[in-house]
Amino acid sequence: MNDRTSIPNERIVALDRAHVFHSWSAQGALAPLVISGGSGTRAWDDEGTTYLDFSSQLINLNIGHQHPAVIAAIAEQARQLTTVAPATANLARGEAAKRIVARAPAGFNRVFFTNGGADANENAIRMARLHTGRDTVLSTYRSYHGNTGAAIVATGDWRRMPNQYARGHVHFWGPYLYRSEFWATTPEQESERALRHLERTIQGEGPQTIAAILLETVPGTAGILPPPPGYLAGVRELCERYGIVLILDEVMAGFGRTGRWFAFDGYDVVPDLITFAKGVNSGYVPVGGVIISDEIAADFDETVFPGGLTYSGHPLAMASIIGALDAMEREGIVDNAARIGAEAIGPALESLAQKHPIVGEVRGEGVFWAIELVADRETREPLPAETMGRIKSELLARRLLAIVQDNRIHVVPPCVVTDDEVAEAVAIYDEVLALVG
Ligand code: PLP
């Protein structure tokens, strides 16, 4: 596959097991898959096994593996300047920020760059708290916003004092009609009742204490849950009424995954702060950030912003953003995601639902879909974990990289996926669902 000396998988895994400590895992039982190369929607190891990547790695690879324009942009920047302090001005940083705000709504002109999605949310929360002078952050039970939290509170110097924020988090239930917490039977009911529940939560906590509502525009890890009509507009309205900052987390949903630059472009809502990571450069170099409304950015014209990172706006990450966004624009990659979702993935998953009684629901848009699997369509009891484990290994045995999450398969290929690749993957899902159904 390339001209580098090929190394047997066994050696790579042995080295990994000896020295690498993995995320979210009991280390003893791990047998990680070896990936050594890739192109577009395919990835492979050195022993000649090729996989169809319907995971986009960790749902970050929107532009596909090894896009030549992104690689060239990184290489060119590496030749010129590989690192620079965050306080400097650097052309790549400005160009990357300019391209990001060009895709944001009017009134967003500044970007604070972070190393990934979690610290983007940390900084958005920090901004919201400073903007409102309030503490509490509301977010939903069905959400994932990242895995940081304690470092600044452990810090000994002055930077700790304005940031002792590991407190004041309150959770509420967001909309999810298939498993409604509100006994709703229509999207309209779900929306209205979820909004009523949110307003009661705000009132119960005391509106004057709430700094922000932080929401994934389309909750991803929790099940790819597009919000029902009117929900996000209703949340915006509650934020207006109670003086609360609305932060939309677009880390997974943003930059093409829904078939739009931002997922919220499909809803009647404009947030105050937007967090992003993954799709902005497809993870070729770690990066994330906060897109800041002019009103909140103005708070820090005279007042020091008490936040910062050594690698904020790292030149290699910035070059990869420029390369990725320009190529996505030039090649119509976001439009491809929209089209393939509407014309190929959606209809194909619907026909799987017709055919297999274990499919409870399929939902999504663009290249952001879930197949929710149930033991019983009436009770909607989730398919048990051991069957889900079997599904995962059967998909992998057929060389499909899949995201299997709780009782769902998340169908999340790169935005560059082709009709033929969708047909190939759907045939594999079909075969495996028949096997376990
Ligand atoms: N927010 C959302 C919606 C995510 O899906 C994730 C990661 O999956 C994060 C934040 C955290 O991003 P990171 O892992 O880059 O810190």
pLDDT in tens, 105-135: 999 999 999 999 999 999 999 999 999 999 9
Query: Which amino acid, residue 224?
Result: I
Given a contact cutoff of 8 angstroms between Cβ atoms, the answer to whether 329 and 134 are in contact is no
Given a contact cutoff of 8 angstroms between Cβ atoms, the answer to whether 169 and 136 are in contact is yes
Which residue among 24, 114, 140, 252 has the greatest number of ligand 1 atoms within 8 angstroms of its CB, and so is best to mutate? 252
d(CA 323, CA 99) in angstroms, rounded, equals: 10
**Residue pLDDT, tens place only, 75-101:** 999 999 999 999 999 999 999 999 999
Q: What three-state secondary structure class fits 301?
A: coil
Ligand 1 atom nearest to 115, measured from its CA: 15
Predicted local distance difference test score (pLDDT) of residue 161: 77
d(CA 202, CA 244) in angstroms, rounded, equals: 10
d(CA 386, CA 407) in angstroms, rounded, equals: 10
Query: What residues contact 291, with CB distance under 8 A and at least 6 apart?
Result: 100, 101, 104, 108, 110, 111, 273, 274, 275, 276
Strand partners, 275: 249, 290
Angle at 322 between CA 318 and CA 323, to 5 degrees: 115
CATH 3.90.1150.10 positions along the chain are 9-66+332-436
Predicted local distance difference test score (pLDDT) of residue 320: 99
Q: What three-state secondary structure class fits 88?
A: coil
CA distances from 424 to 178, 346, 353 (A): 28, 15, 17
- Residue whose Cα lies nearest atom 12 of ligand 1: it is 117
Ligand 1 atom nearest to 59, measured from its CA: 8
Ligand 1 atom nearest to 286, measured from its CA: 15
Ligand 1 atom nearest to 143, measured from its CA: 3
Q: What three-state secondary structure class fits 298?
A: helix
Measured from the CB, is residue 249 less than 6 Å from ligand 1? Answer: yes
Report residues of the chain scoring pLDDT below 70: 1-4, 150-151, 165-166
Question: Tokens 């915006």 correspond to what residue?
Answer: 236
Given a contact cutoff of 8 angstroms between Cβ atoms, the answer to whether 399 and 41 are in contact is no
Given a contact cutoff of 8 angstroms between Cβ atoms, the answer to whether 341 and 414 are in contact is no
Task: Report the CATH fold assignment for 9-66+332-436.
Answer: Aspartate Aminotransferase, domain 1 (3.90.1150)
Question: Yes or no: is domain 69-330 CATH 3.40.50.10860?
Answer: no
Measured from the CB, is residue 190 less than 6 Å from ligand 1? Answer: no
Q: What three-state secondary structure class fits 288?
A: strand
Nearest Cα residue to 220 out of 325, 124, 145: 145
Which residue among 251, 264, 275 has the greatest number of ligand 1 atoms within 8 angstroms of its CB, and so is best to mutate? 251
**210-216 and 136-140 beta bridge pairing:** parallel
Q: How far is CA 171 from the centre of its chain?
A: 20
What pTM did the predictor assign? 0.96
**359-365 and 288-293 beta bridge pairing:** unpaired
d(CA 56, CA 268) in angstroms, rounded, equals: 28
Measured from the CB, is residue 216 less than 6 Å from ligand 1? Answer: yes
Measured from the CB, is residue 254 less than 6 Å from ligand 1? Answer: no
Predicted local distance difference test score (pLDDT) of residue 155: 75
d(CA 277, ligand 1 centre) in Å:
7
Measured from the CB, is residue 277 less than 6 Å from ligand 1? Answer: yes
Q: What own/partner pairs with CB < 8 Å and gap ≥ 24 does 175-180 have?
A: 175/225, 175/227, 175/228, 175/231, 176/142, 176/223, 176/225, 177/228, 178/360, 178/361, 178/363, 178/372, 178/380, 179/380
CATH 3.40.640.10 positions along the chain are 69-330
Nearest Cα residue to 259 out of 424, 62, 404: 62
d(CA 144, ligand 1 centre) in Å:
7
Predicted local distance difference test score (pLDDT) of residue 1: 45
Tokens of 279: 């799709």
Ligand 1 atom nearest to 117, measured from its CA: 12
Predicted local distance difference test score (pLDDT) of residue 331: 98
Ligand 1 atom nearest to 146, measured from its CA: 11
Angle between helices 419-436 and 346-355 (to 10 degrees): 20
d(CA 112, CA 97) in angstroms, rounded, equals: 9
d(CA 3, ligand 1 centre) in Å:
34
Nearest Cα residue to 333 out of 35, 40, 20: 40
Given a contact cutoff of 8 angstroms between Cβ atoms, the answer to whether 351 and 399 are in contact is no
